[in-house]
Amino acid sequence: MKTKSFKDLIVWQKAYKLVIEIYRMTKNFPKEEIYGLSQQMRKASLTIPSNIAEGYGRQHKKEYKQFLSIAYGSLCELETQYLLSIDLDYVRKDEAVEDLMKEVGRIPYRMLNPIYPKHIGGAK
């Protein structure tokens, strides 16, 4: 089946669900974090499906991969913030969120890995 829209992309669909879960999770953060960690997590999560959609909309493979790379970087940022929120006792581990992060990260990583085989994993 040919994709007609970025909304047909499984990676976008899962990233979109991740945003919703992050917004729900951060809703209960302490009030002092409203402009701190909570906002950073929301912003990082939101940039993931947004960059996937924008890259798809560019309709050039090179640009699409560039935006996937940005989305993957935002996912790594979000994962760091998620782990910090657990260590600060703002939330408990959330299997659904962790599964979505793994699934969303898997697709761009596989697409980008052939481009930068020497750089991924630290080897140069």
pLDDT tens for 26-68 read 999 999 998 999 999 999 999 999 999 999 998 788 898 899 9
Whole-angstrom Cα distance, residue 48 to residue 12?
8
What is the CATH number for 71?
1.20.1440.60
Length of the chain: 124
SS3 63: helix
Average pLDDT of the chain to the nearest whole number: 88
Q: How many structural domains compose the chain? A: 1
Share of the chain above pLDDT 70, in %: 88
Residue 20 domain-assigned? Answer: yes
Return the pLDDT at 123.
41
Q: What is the pLDDT of residues 77-88, one digit of tens each?
A: 999 999 999 999
Amino acid at 88: L
- Kindly tell me if the per-residue pLDDT of 90 is higher than 80: yes
Instruction: Report pTM.
Output: 0.85
Residue 65 lies in a domain: yes
Q: How buried is residue 100: exposed, middle or buried, by Cβ count under 10 Å (0-12/13-18/19+)?
A: buried
In this structure, is residue 79 part of a structural domain? yes
The range of the structural domain enclosing residue 80 comes to 9-112
**What is the C-alpha to C-alpha distance for residues 30 and 47, in angstroms, rounded to an integer?**
23
